[in-house]
């Protein structure tokens, strides 16, 4: 019989894998980032279908596999709603995930990070929170936790986009590759805000 262990974590990514499965990237307190397989999760009638959502706080029961552990059961502990309804909130979450996966967090656990991630995502779920300011503050805190924070002031006066650009630039100095979602996030945010008249384009 396979040995089954339980672990709590935040689903960072959930992508199609093979013909019927999903590959989950999950941040856990005990093991850091892990990748596990949800077998059959692409099939409509499969009970693991809900694991296709990113941002879920879950308890997973995992069976040891040769290359990847597989999910045998799960329980949803908390489910965000805003990242399913607001593209700016989703883009902010995805950018955070990309920084996490491309930065120093690829190896081993980081004590205290899971509760911080959960608190941040819960905060983002508040409709009154500006996703650009949220992302800037989260990336600044991750810089501090990684010991990479630049002592220069990366905030900006009244322009969340400028502050976000500055902190993303600082992160990219410490990543192996540029933040791919950066262009989509920044140009999309700018376009949306121009439509609503919330900000003006600066030449």
Instruction: Write the pLDDT tens digit of every residue in 3-56.
Output: 899 999 999 999 999 899 999 999 999 888 899 999 999 999 999 999 999 999
Instruction: Say what percent of the chain tops pLDDT 70.
Output: 67
Judge if pTM exceeds 0.75.
yes
Domain(s) labelled CATH 2.40.50.140 in the chain stretch across 4-78
Residues 49-65 have a mean pLDDT of: 96
How far is residue 136's CA from residue 130's CA, in Å, rounded to a whole number?
10
How far is residue 2's CA from residue 20's CA, in Å, rounded to a whole number?
21
Out of 2.40.50.140, 3.90.1300.10, 3.90.380.10, 3.50.50.60, the CATH code matching 4-78 is 2.40.50.140
Eight-state DSSP code of residue 110: -
In contact, 41 and 22? CB cutoff 8 Å: yes
């Amino acid at each position: 019989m396979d040995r089954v262990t339980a672990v709590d974590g935040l689903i960072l990514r959930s992508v199609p894998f093979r013909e019927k499965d999903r590959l989950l990237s999950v941040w856990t307190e005990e093991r850091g980032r892990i990748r596990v397989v949800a077998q059959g999760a692409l099939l409509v009638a499969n009970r693991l279908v809900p694991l296709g959502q990113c941002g879920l706080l879950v308890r997973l029961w995992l069976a040891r596999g040769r290359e990847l552990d597989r999910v045998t059961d799960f329980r949803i502990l908390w489910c965000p709603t805003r990242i399913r309804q607001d593209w700016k909130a989703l883009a902010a979450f995805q950018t955070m995930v990309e920084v996490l996966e491309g930065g120093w967090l690829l190896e081993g656990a980081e004590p205290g990070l899971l509760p911080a991630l959960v608190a941040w995502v819960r905060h983002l779920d508040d409709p009154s929170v500006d996703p650009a300011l949220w992302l800037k503050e989260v990336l600044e805190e991750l810089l501090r936790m990684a010991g990479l924070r630049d002592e220069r002031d990366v905030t900006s006066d009244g322009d969340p986009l400028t502050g976000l650009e500055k902190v993303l630039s600082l992160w990219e100095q410490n990543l192996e590759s540029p933040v791919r979602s950066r262009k989509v996030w920044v140009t999309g945010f700018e376009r949306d805000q121009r439509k609503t008249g919330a900000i003006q384009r600066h030449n």
